[in-house]
């Protein structure tokens, strides 16, 4: 009995050590997964930035911003992957690298749920980006009204799928109101976009861009 009692602390320490090691491995695995997701997202954003470089030449009428924060004030902002300001509208773009490099299929069911089927055979439910786009639209409108002092300008949210080998299939009963494009469709869509007859004049574009840069310069300073 005394031997068992003597061994008990050793056993407890051993059990605690095993639990600690398992917890560390679980944490490291989670961190590694998160790191890979972030790297994949960064690669996707870089692909989209390369496509949009066509709008950033000196003769272009568009201004392009990547990885910026906007909102009605400095305390209430959203982070945007990309924002394009041009004579025919203001486009906030959310980049998704679903499928990674190999690609796959996204099925959108009748309830708006997104299911990603990878080419490896693995399937999972992914978050419908509509909520994120709506949030960005809300913050952008707040920025335009309260910071820039302009209203009723044409704005358009876009989800861009950076992977070339991804296909989206919609259930026939689902009414899709979200603009989802492949990255090679993006520039053409922006240039040909029309929302009524509203035009952003150079003075308005300069005012918007000046405030975008000012808000983000302050954010970096803090």
- Indicate the pLDDT class of residue 193, thresholds 50, 70 and 90: very high
DSSP 111: T
- Reference 22, options 12, 14, 10; nearest CA is 14
CA 62 to centroid of chain Cα atoms? 21
At 198-216, the pLDDT tens digits run: 789 999 999 999 999 999 9
| pTM assigned to the model | 0.79
Instruction: Please name the residues in contact with 163: beta carbons below 8 A apart, sequence gap of 6 or more.
Output: 44, 97, 98, 99, 100, 101, 103
Asked whether residue 32 carries a pLDDT value surpassing 60, the answer given is no
- pLDDT of 34 above 50: no
Instruction: Report which of 218, 208, 88 is spatially closest to residue 147, judged by C-alpha positions.
Output: 208
Give pLDDT, residue 27.
Answer: 65
| pLDDT of 54 strictly over 50 | yes
88: tokens are: 């025919």
Q: What is the pLDDT of residue 135?
A: 97
**Across the chain, what does the average pLDDT equal?**
87
Q: Which residues make Cβ contacts (< 8 Å) with residue 179, sequence separation at least 6?
A: 156, 157, 158, 159, 189
- % of the chain with per-residue pLDDT over 70: 83
If DSSP codes are grouped into helix, strand and coil, which group holds residue 12?
A: helix
More confident: 34 or 124:
124
Classify 89 in phi/psi space as left (phi over 0), alpha (psi -120 to 50) or beta: left
pLDDT at residue 102 above 70? yes
């Amino acid at each position: 009995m005394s031997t068992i009692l003597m061994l008990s602390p050793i056993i407890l320490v051993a059990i605690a050590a095993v639990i600690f090691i398992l917890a560390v491995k679980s944490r490291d695995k989670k961190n590694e997964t998160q790191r890979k997701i972030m790297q994949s997202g960064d690669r996707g954003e870089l692909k989209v930035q390369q496509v949009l470089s066509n709008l950033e030449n000196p003769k272009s009428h568009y201004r392009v911003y990547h990885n910026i924060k906007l909102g009605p004030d400095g305390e209430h902002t959203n982070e945007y992957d990309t924002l394009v300001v041009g004579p025919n509208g203001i486009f906030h773009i959310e980049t998704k690298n679903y499928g990674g490099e190999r690609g796959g299929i996204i099925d959108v069911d009748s309830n708006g749920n997104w299911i990603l089927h990878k080419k490896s055979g693995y399937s999972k439910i992914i978050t419908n980006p509509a909520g994120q786009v709506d949030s960005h639209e809300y913050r952008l409108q707040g920025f335009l009204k309260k910071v820039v002092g302009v209203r009723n300008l044409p704005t358009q949210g876009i989800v861009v799928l950076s992977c070339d080998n991804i296909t989206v299939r919609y259930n026939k009963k689902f009414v899709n109101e979200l603009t989802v494009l492949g990255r090679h469709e993006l520039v053409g869509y922006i240039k040909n976009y029309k929302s009524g007859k509203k035009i952003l004049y150079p003075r308005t574009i300069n005012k918007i861009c000046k405030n975008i840069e000012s808000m983000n310069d302050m954010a970096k300073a803090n």
